[in-house]
A and B are shown apart, each in its own frame.
Chain A
């Protein structure tokens, strides 16, 4: 039997669907890994916060506050308490941000001077106090608290960062007279040393109180980012107090681990099940439907042996394709990112994807035994892939609604994770959750790490689930293959 199995393996490896799938995966690796690497912006992002600005109009102090989350999106309901103390005593007021994240209010007190101080608190861990500068002219804007220039996560691509500029022009006008610049650098030079328009690149012109500018990917050797706001006209003065090196710590080049993780979760985890379906369909389901399989079945071989031989050859072919992909990704990683894939992640990823591949090969072979029509079989196989890979979160959402579980709650998280045990296409993500941990969002960009074991994600349950997804479809197939034509 070794000869026929070898032939099946060679035949499968040379089959159009396998060659095509391997070509697609490797091409995607070549094309996407550098892109993902470049797109992974390691600029540290703010976890959200608030900015409070003020100016003296000549008769009163006017305040504007903006509260935002880690994506720079408005946060409603942030309360700001402000007290201005002058020679007549303290004057207090409070405001709450609206649905645009904004709050505007006014307070009457003496003009800025050596005796005029302010004190501010918010319910978002932002506060401040100080003397209002005696030289502060009417209409001149002062930040009482918060960073007017910061970085937040790009809501449309969480691997990238956006510069958030929250500011206003004199007398509360739109800040169109400023320009935001950026520069990437290396070494430990203080950011202020390069805060000069001639040494920085233009990021954009603000048009409203809150402006966002997507930061270009940093070069590989960048270790520091500086963003600053200058006046738009010569002599391009740095806007006092509002330009800063907004991020602490160093930039690091995209890590191979992050790129690898992003690539496998966005590409391989989707393509591998489809590849398995196509291979199993083209080499077994179609052969069975067209009668090609009978020409083999007429030889001295049992149905079970022939089915098993084909199954093994598909799984081995898928495994070879995956290993080749990993090698390709490793080579790209070394060439472009200057580092190697984390060996443990590479092994776990490959193994979990092989489990997914084996499960889908088994499922398609099982379907080919129970569905006679070639068209229906293909339809069901692809439908299954789409449902399990793309619509699983929707299915879980409806299941949670049916069970009365509130979205975002701990129970919902538990349902999301535990439902993955019932989906072969989620096996890779389940392994990922075990390796990388699970966290629960607390809102405002915060999260609490939770042990995967809390939801039953342990090495034992993973091994059991993997074994189940390999064996269940295979045993189902072997059961039917000797009982149904």
Chain B
């Protein structure tokens, strides 16, 4: 379990906090999506949770171990994949894996076999002895994924892990998510690919300008947001627009109006016709996480 409590990080007093009192939990067997615009504070939060950065205030605990005061125990239980993995360029993948294995107390011979097994499982077979400077960004991501699995941890922090992965890598990652979830692991994953988040996550934490603005549960995710009713007119009239605005949020695109409101489409159509507006199309669309997120951010702005 990963518990983030009132976490604040200030890089410069002038710029203000990068994240401000961020609090949420990731339970065992739960995948939590972490979404937000660029600069919202996702990476900062994940780096603090991984123990590679020090918080200004607040705390992160992993399975009850504080990542600052009990770092060794906390890190032993955490696998971290950064957004842009950076490894010692002159080391070969296998030698660095063996080096990392030493920190987990894995003895030499076992370290070798486990490292090879993990490197192959992430699709790096044949590149085990290559120097990391020759790896592409996608290969580095795969390597990073392999290193995060070294200690067989029960908690994972994936920062934009899908970026740079090819379709095969993305498929591997999906399978991995299912597997770690089956092992009752706690996973916090940030991604800009909201469809993936929506498909994989049990819960989504939305962060904006360093603050958590919404947490959406699995149940809510399935029916996230409200219906969007598209009403197309032969010629959009001010009166029609005024009427629709009175029902909910609208977005105008040419002669079409997208109404976000809980309305009965048939009743709406009847009302518009009654008022003398010529409706050419009326369709109901389900709002996705992306639209939901963008609307939420729009409101937060």
Contact = CB atoms under 8 A, between A and B. Distances in A.
Given A292-B86, A294-B86, A302-B72, A11 B102 contact: no
A295 B85 contact: yes
Interface in A290-348: 290-292, 294-303
A6 B103 CA distance: 12
B151 A297 contact: no
Contacts of B50: 298
Contact of B72 (A15, A294, A301): A301
B103 A4 contact: yes
B87 A295 contact: yes
Interface string A1-23: 11110110001000110000000
Please classify how large the interface on chain B is, using the bins under 10, 10 to 19, 20 to 34, 35 or more: 20 to 34
B99 interface: yes
Nearest to B79: A298
Report which residue of A15, A16, A295, A485 has the largest number of chain B beta carbons within 10 angstroms of its beta carbon: A295
Contacts of B89: 292
A298 B99 contact: no
A287 B91 CA distance: 13
Contact of B71 (A295, A296, A303): A303
B51 interface: yes
Interface of A: 1-4, 6-7, 11, 15-16, 287, 290-292, 294-303, 482-485
A300 B102 contact: no
Which 9 pairs, one residue from A and one from B, show the smallest C-beta to C-beta distance? A3-B102, A299-B103, A300-B76, A291-B86, A7-B99, A294-B52, A300-B75, A4-B102, A300-B72
A299 B50 CA distance: 9
**Which of B50, B51, B108 is packed against the most chain A CB atoms within 10 Å?**
B51
B80 interface: yes
Nearest to B153: A300
A294 B82 contact: yes
B104 interface: yes
A301 B103 contact: yes
B52 A301 contact: no
A292 B72 contact: no
Interface in B77-126: 78, 80, 82, 84-91, 98-104, 108
Nearest to A14: B90
B155 interface: no
B73 interface: yes
Contacts of B86: 290-292, 294-295
Given A7-B102, A299-B100, 7 more contacts: A3-B108, A291-B82, A298-B52, A301-B103, A303-B71, A484-B54, A485-B53
A296 B76 CA distance: 12
Interface string B122-152: 0000000000000000000000100100010
B82 to A, nearest CB: 7
A295 B146 CA distance: 12
